[in-house]
Amino acid sequence: MRIRELGLLAFLLFAALTGAAIAQESPYFVTYDHHMEEPGNLEVATSTTIGAPRSGQSAYFAPYAEIEYGVTGQWTSELYLEGQGTKGDSGLFTGWRWENRYRPLKREYAINPVLYLEYESINEASRIQKEIVGNSSDFSEPIAELRNEHAHELEAKLILSSMVKDWNIAENFIVEKNLSESEGFEFGYAFGAYRPLASLASGTKCRFCRENFTAGFEMYGGLGTTNGFGLHDTSHYFAPILSWQVSDNATLRFSPGIGLTEGSSPVLFRFSYAYEIRGFGRKMAELFRGGPR
């Protein structure tokens, strides 16, 4: 209970500090909003999920790399490479994912829908928990058994995102299907809100100005399967989020997810560093043409 109380206190602190206007980079780890990567820009990020264990389970460290590219103003594509290491066991490469997001409406509306489709080629030792779906997972099995259980999965999301004054509010509904097993669909959700700590730029170039920080929260969890839809035996997390725009191109993010149910890990620590290469597509086109014209 102390951990959960600290998490709620952290969120209240973030909320009390917030000011106005939307930041450049979304601080979410699980929830998606309607903001897409700029066309031709490439973002390279490294993220990590650290799971504090439940009774009878071991702590784990699950890093993953993200390569995101703005194909068009309405289409963003992203590749994930992931791995994990478990205390007292071993570490391994757990697979890759290819994500695509498409925003059908060009203009900004009160509610902005985004369609999401991801293909996953992973093994059952995966721990990054980029989404929480279905029922609670059992992380007590040894890596030697899980590494040979390969899964091909499709994941779809309906993303709804709104700007309410200075806040972004986003809701995601998730459906996942394991193509390697004759089992039903798994369901999940994610909900979040954030805003920056200041509405106006300070007029001076500094790293620690309030407008460079964004804070908020997200909540995510599983909703069972087609064999049993609902909240029984599912994992849910409440997670304060904080993002720091270190420079024009680089962003740091941090989030301690607090487990809310018996099937959840007590805490999921998440942190990330992202660097954006602006005009990457144009620069590569110029390189292949033999230089800028």
**Amino acid at the residue 188:** G
Surface-to-core class of residue 58, CB atoms within 10 Å of its CB (0-12 exposed, 13-18 middle, 19+ buried): middle
Give residue 71's pLDDT: 97
Give residue 11's pLDDT: 45
Chain segment 240-256, per-residue pLDDT in tens:
999 999 998 999 999 99
- Return d(Cα 225, Cα 79) in angstroms, integer: 27
Give residue 13's pLDDT: 44
- Return d(Cα 286, Cα 84) in angstroms, integer: 38
pTM, whole model, 2 decimals? 0.88
Does residue 48 or residue 292 have the better pLDDT?
48
Give residue 292's pLDDT: 59
Give residue 19's pLDDT: 35
20: tokens are 């106005």
Q: Where are the domains of the chain?
A: 2-289
Which helix or strand (DSSP H or E) is residue 8 part of? helix 2-17
Q: What are the C-alpha distances in Å from 62 to residues 80, 141, 239?
A: 13, 16, 18
Question: Options 3.90.550.10, 1.10.15.40, 2.40.160.40, 2.60.40.10; which CATH number does 2-289 get?
Answer: 2.40.160.40
Chain segment 164-203, per-residue pLDDT in tens:
988 999 999 999 999 988 789 999 999 999 999 987 766 6
